[in-house]
């Protein structure tokens, strides 16, 4: 039985739904030694900022039960060096490139968008708004609807490619933040970034990370991620969602899709197993065949109908 893994994220069509999570795959060169990048749905690159950043001091990573804490601090070469050194190689591979950007001010997002506008080889942008907004006392952009909308609008008003807003789960109502991003022109949302966490070394009696706190990722956060995807899908219906947080296997990908994701990113799992993503793609084919399902897209959101659609159907306007 032939199965169809292709998915659509607005105007963007991917040959399969499994993509890399930003920051866990750099810009692809290292991973190309392990497998053919064209087996991926897309490569989502490490977030770049306007200027180069050295990142935070070590130790920057700590293992936790079923997960990992990191406080890398957006180390990156800056957008110009990334455009010169990394993008040309990646764009020559047979895989869509979703470029991730991050800023400290709304203006920085706008300037990054101008720098990346019409650059060949970029299929879409993922806007990491899960970082502190220096104009707003260091509160994270994606913790407020207003700040989220402003940062996203600064990008969508400039570029023509699809834009995905990457949100933090550390909020009370993630669906309202997602709605603000979509109202500001985002094609879809990426859910979720890491959760803020902390671990303490009993011998040194100090935090395990030099920065004190860091982002928690890996299997420990999967239920939080599935919940976020489900809530946003129920609220926003057809808006494309790239789900992530603890996904490792084909079964994890299916769970995200049933929750409402159109595509699924795998991040932390690739540190332990660089081939986790191509293995998950192969596993999807087996899973669909075993369950007599001709296409993955049919399973999207099957775990719960979007509220708006269900209401329209009840009212006879669907």
Ligand X SMILES: Cc1cc2nc3c(=O)[nH]c(=O)nc-3n(C[C@H](O)[C@H](O)[C@H](O)COP(=O)(O)O)c2cc1C
Q: CA geometry: angle at 277 spanning 272 and 283, to 5°?
A: 115
Task: Give the pair of three-digit tokens for residue 13.
Answer: 């069509």
Q: How many helices (H) and strands (E) does the chain have?
A: 10, 16
Of 24 and 113, which CB lies nearer to ligand X in the complex structure? Answer: 24
Q: Which residue is nearest to ligand X (CB)?
A: 23
CA distances for 294 relative to 280, 286, 289, angstroms: 17, 11, 7
Nearer to ligand X, 72 or 236 (CB): 72
- Least separation in angstroms between residue 200's CB and ligand X is 20
In the complex, the smallest distance separating the C-beta of residue 210 from ligand X, rounded to whole angstroms, is: 15
Query: Contact, 47 vs 296, CB < 8 A?
Result: no
Minimal distance, residue 217 CB to ligand X, in Å? 3
For ligand X, the closer of residues 125 and 161 by Cβ is 125
Closest CB to ligand X among residues 226, 296: 226
Q: Which of 24, 131, 143, 275 is catalytic?
A: 131
| End-to-end CA gap in the chain | 33
Structure tokens at 48: 């770049």
What is the b/e burial string over 234-269, where b = at least 16 CB atoms within 10 angstroms of the residue's CB?
bbbbebbbbbbbbbbbbebbbbbbbbbbbbbbbbbb
Q: Is 131 one of the catalytic residues?
A: yes
Q: Shortest distance, CB of residue 32 to ligand X, whole angstroms?
A: 19
Question: Which residue number, 27 or 156, has a Cβ lying nearer to ligand X?
Answer: 27
Kindly state the smallest distance separating residue 308's Cβ from ligand X, in Å. 26
Residues forming contacts to ligand X in the complex (CB under 6 A) are 21-24, 46-47, 68, 70, 72, 74, 100, 128, 166, 193-194, 217-218, 221, 244-247, 266-268
- The pairing of strands 124-128 and 206-207 is unpaired
Residue keyed to tokens 């936790």 = 64
Task: Taking the CA atoms of 185, 189, 194 and 196 in sequence, report the sign of the dihedral they define.
Answer: positive
Catalytic sites, residue numbers: 131
């Amino acid at each position: 039985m032939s199965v169809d893994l292709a998915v659509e994220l607005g105007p963007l069509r991917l040959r399969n739904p499994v993509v890399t999570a930003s920051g866990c795959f750099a810009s692809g060169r290292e991973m190309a030694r392990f497998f053919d990048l064209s087996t991926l749905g897309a490569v989502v690159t490490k977030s770049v900022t306007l200027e180069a950043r050295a990142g935070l001091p070590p130790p920057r990573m700590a293992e936790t039960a079923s997960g990992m804490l990191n406080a890398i601090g957006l180390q990156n070469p800056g957008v110009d060096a990334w455009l010169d050194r990394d993008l040309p190689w990646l764009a020559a591979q047979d895989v869509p490139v979703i470029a991730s950007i991050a800023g400290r001010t709304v203006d920085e997002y706008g300037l990054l968008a101008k720098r990346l506008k019409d650059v060949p080889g970029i299929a879409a942008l993922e806007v990491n708004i899960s970082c502190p907004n220096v104009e707003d006392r260091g509160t994270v952009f994606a913790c407020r609807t207003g700040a989220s909308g402003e940062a996203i609008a600064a990008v969508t008003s400039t570029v023509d490619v699809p834009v995905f807003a990457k949100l933090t789960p550390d909020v009370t109502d993630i669906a309202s933040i997602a709605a603000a991003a979509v109202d500001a022109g985002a094609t879809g949302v990426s859910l979720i970034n890491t959760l803020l966490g902390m671990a303490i070394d009993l011998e040194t009696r100090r935090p395990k990370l030099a920065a004190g706190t860091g982002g928690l990722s890996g299997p420990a956060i999967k239920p939080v991620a599935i919940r976020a995807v489900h809530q946003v899908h129920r609220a926003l219906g057809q808006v494309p969602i790239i789900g992530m947080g603890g996904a490792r296997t084909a079964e994890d990908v299916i769970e995200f899709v049933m929750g409402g994701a159109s595509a699924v990113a795998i991040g932390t799992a690739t540190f332990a197993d660089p081939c986790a993503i191509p293995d998950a793609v192969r596993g999807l084919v087996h899973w669909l065949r075993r369950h007599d399902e001709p296409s993955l897209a049919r399973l999207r959101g099957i775990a719960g109908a979007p509220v708006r659609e269900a209401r329209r159907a009840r009212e006879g306007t669907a």
